[in-house]
Amino acid sequence: MGTRLIDLLRHDYQLRNIDKRQSHFFSDITVIGDVRDKDKMVELLEGTDVVVLLAAEHRDDVSPVSLYYDVNVGGMRNVLAAMEVNGVNRLVFTSSVAVYGLNKKNPDEEHPKDPFNHYGKSKWQAEEVLQEWFKGHGDWNINILRPTVIFGERNRGNVYNLLHQISSGKFLMVGNGSNKKSMAYVGNIVAFIRFLIEEQSSGYNVYNYIDKPDMTMNELVGHVSKVLKKHIPATHFPYWLGMLGGYGFDFLAWLTRRKLTISSVRVKKFCATTQFDARKVQMSGFKAPFTLGEGLARTLEFEFVHPRTDDITFKTE
């Protein structure tokens, strides 16, 4: 997301990219830093007008689990402190729809929070830090973005793994495929971040971000088949059998001390209905540059149709 955001903004803004590792594409504006280092954040945020905080521990298998809280919550506190020292009062923060928990019925931004994993819990705790901070800093502008699962070119996360399995013909559908999967194309996410920077410059604002309309798993398989122009069989397996297989992979991962692409958590997430209310974004005046179908097509063509000229990828969930 950071790479795509820089590419979108770099011709119109003076940017500084703070990251734990050097950028493949924007090394000239990248400085090495870690949100856990408050003194470094104070140094690097000097002269800043707006901070876009994307830094997070987000994978399903982070170890130790304390890292979720050290980075996502402690990092938030450090960034806020560094902003205050430098007189910066505008923040765009990427949280997550994970704060709502699994299988909720189309939650909007006011829905009760019920995160089920450490990632979601730490993201919600970071938001609570922001809520408390804003009470004493009412002149600040804080925009919180809660995206659903993000996909796009070069991304190596759950959606890519799913698209790769579907396109390879080795796809096993767990459940009946009628569950809806909300998704967000990275090109639309970064466009909305730009919209927030330019159009939402006051107050405390929270937005779910989902590219609508949601697709069912069956519709997603059909769309991949259409874009790639190939027949993709989808054998359905019952949920209990899928979970049994997931627990088997959990045990294998523990036994071999390796991180595997299949786990019980990922099976559970795959079968869950992840549908969220996005009316607030739709009413904001923002117009997404791509439809969900177009975003999927661009990703599929980049990854599986056109020859790649490099092997640069970004790993997420």
Instruction: Please give the CATH architecture assigned to the domain spanning 154-181+214-317.
Output: Alpha-Beta Complex (3.90)
Asked if residues 45 and 88 have their Cβ atoms less than 8 Å apart, the reply is yes
User: In the chain, what are the domain boundaries?
Assistant: 154-181+214-317
Q: What is the pTM of this model?
A: 0.88
pLDDT tens digit string along 271-314?
777 899 999 999 999 999 999 999 999 999 999 888 677 777 66
pLDDT tens digit string along 217-261?
889 888 988 998 888 776 788 888 888 988 998 999 999 988 777
Is 119 in the active site?
yes
Catalytic residue among 119, 160, 207, 209: 119
Backbone torsions φ then ψ of 185, nearest 5 degrees: -80, 135
